[in-house]
Amino acid sequence: MARRTAIVATGQTYHKSIRRDVNGQELINEAVVRSLEDAQLTMDDIDGVIIGNMDHFEGINYVDCWSIDGSGGYMKPTMKLTTGGTTGATLAIAGYHMVASGMFDKLLVIGWEKNSESDTTGGIITCTDPIVERPIVAGAISGLACEAQAYMHKYGATPRDAARVSVRDHKHGCNNPHAHLRLDLTIEDVLHSPVLADPLRLHDMCPRTDGACAVIFACEGIAEKITSAPAWVLATANRHMFSDYSDVVQMASLLSMVEASKELWGKLGIKEPLKKVDVIEMYQPYSWAGMMWIEDMGLCKKGEGPRLIWDGVTDMGGELPINPSGGVICTNPIGATGLIRAAEIALQIQGKADKRQVPDVQLGVSTGFGGNWWTDMIAFGKKKPA
C-alpha cells in the first residue's frame, strides 16, 4: 500500500539578482543546511538526494555528480531530474513518489539556478527545435507575449488588468524576506515600465534570480516525529504535451492547466476549487497568466479572470489568496521556482509563513509551468489523507 508522504522541512536562500559571494555548489549548500536546521536533522539522517536545474543556464553537465560538494549526496543515492521551467515541480512530484514507494524514508529534494551566470533568454531559446524553431524563435518572453495578445484579442482584457496582478504579487512580496524583488508598485508604475514585447512590460515580467530551495520529504511514522505539522501530499497531476511549439495552438488558454487541474480536482473530489482551496502558490512567470490560467484552473469561467483579480478575491485577506510569497514575478531562479512554490505551501500549512501567513490553511496547491506551455500541480493538506 502507498505510504502517506509529507514535506516536513524547507530551506531557501535569500534570492537575489546575483550571488557573487558563492558558487553554485555553495548556493545549494545554503538551502540544504537551512532545510536540515528546519527539520532538526543532520545529513546522516538523509537517505537520498534528488536535484534539478536547467543545464544551459550554468553550462554544467551531469549536475547530480557536480553538486555532491554542496548537496551532501556523498556516498548516497543521487539523481537529477529536469523538465525546463517545471523542473522544481517535477522534483517535488518525484520527492513524493520516491518516498511513498517505500524506497526512501527521508529524501532531500533540491532545486537551484544561478541565472546570473548566463544570458537567460539566450539559454532558454536552446529549448526549441534546433532546425525549425530555434533560428527564428525570440525567447520565452515572445511566446508569453503571443499568448497575452491572443487572450486580449479574445476576451478584451487590458494591460491595466494585468498590472493589477503584478501589483498584487509585488505587494505580497514585500512580506517575504526571501523574495528577490520587494517593490510596492502601483498600477501606473507597471504601465509606465518599458515594453519588452507587446503587450508585456518590464514589471509584468519575472526577474532573473540566483536562488536555491531544499525540501525534505518523509513518510508517515517518521514525518510526525520531525514536525508537528507535516504538509501531507494529497494528489499530483501534470501534463507535458506538445513536443513542438507549432502544436501549441490554443493560445488564449493553457490546455495543460485545463487537463491537469481537471485530474487534480477529480482526485480530490473537489467541484468548486475557489471555495475549497485555501491558498495557491502559482508558477506565474508574468502578470497576464495570473488572469488567464486561473480560468483554466477552474476558479472561474473563461474571461472572468480579470474581475476575480479586481474584486480582491486573490489578495491576502481575500477568499483564495494567490502567491502570498510574491510568486514568480518577485523571484525566479528557474530550476528552483517550482519547488519554492511547494515549499511556500508547506510553510502555509505548517503555520510558519510569518508575515505572509494565510490564516488556518487546510488545503493548498502549488503549480509548475514551463516547456511547451506545460503544467504541474500538487495538492498539500494539513490532515493526513485517509
| Cis bond upstream, residue 324 (ω within 30) | no
Cβ-in-10-Å burial (0-12, 13-18, 19+) of 130 comes to exposed
Task: Give the three-class secondary structure for 42.
Answer: coil
The residue among 90, 5, 14, 7 whose CA lies nearest residue 325 is 14
* Contacting residue, 8, 31, 98, 336, with other proteins by CB under 8 A: 98
Site pattern 242..281 for other proteins (x: CB under 8 A): xxxxxx-x-x-------x----------------------
Element (H, E) at 334: helix 334-350
Between 198 and 272, CB nearer to other proteins: 198
Q: State in angstroms the smallest separation of the CB of 320 from other proteins.
A: 25
Task: Name residues contacting other proteins, limited to 128-187 (CB under 8 A).
Answer: 128-139, 141-142, 145-147, 149-150, 153
Based on the shown chain and the rule CB under 8 A, indicate whether residue 35 belongs to the binding site for other proteins: no
Q: Which residue has the cell 544561478?
A: 114
41 binds other proteins (CB under 8 A): no
Member of 7, 41, 124, 282 binding other proteins (CB under 8 A):
124
* Distance of closest approach, residue 21 Cβ to other proteins, in angstroms: 6
- Shortest spacing between CB 212 and other proteins, in angstroms: 13
Nearer to other proteins, 64 or 278 (CB): 64
Residue 118 found at the interface with other proteins (CB under 8 A): yes
Q: 288 with 162: CB under 8 angstroms?
A: yes
Run of H or E including 6: strand 5-12
Choose, by CB under 8 A, the member of 23, 175, 193, 357 that binds other proteins: 23
**1 close to 386: Cβ distance less than 8 angstroms:** no
Query: 107 vs 309, which CB is nearer to other proteins?
Result: 107
Question: What secondary structure letter does DSSP report for 40?
Answer: T
From 103, 151, 110, select the one nearest 293 (Cα to Cα).
Answer: 151
240 binds other proteins (CB under 8 A): yes
Q: Give the residue among 340, 322, 320 at the shortest CA–CA distance from 331.
A: 340
From the CB of 271, what's the least distance to other proteins, in Å? 22
Binding piece for other proteins, criterion CB under 8 A, among 52-60, 179-187, 303-311, 338-346: 52-60
DSSP classification of residue 221: T
Specify whether the CB–CB gap between 297 and 336 falls below 8 A: no
Count of residues near other proteins by CB under 8 A: 114
> Three cell numbers at 286?
508574468
Q: Which of 65, 266, 310, 355 binds other proteins (CB under 8 A)?
A: 65
Cα–Cα distance for residue pair 26/40, rounded to 1 Å? 20
What is the footprint of other proteins within residues 337-376 (CB under 8 A)? 370-372
**Among 35, 238, 331, 348, interactor with other proteins by CB under 8 A:** 238
Single out the residue of 156, 186, 195, 355 in contact with other proteins (rule: CB under 8 A). 195
Residue of 6, 9, 54, 165 interacting with other proteins (CB under 8 A): 54
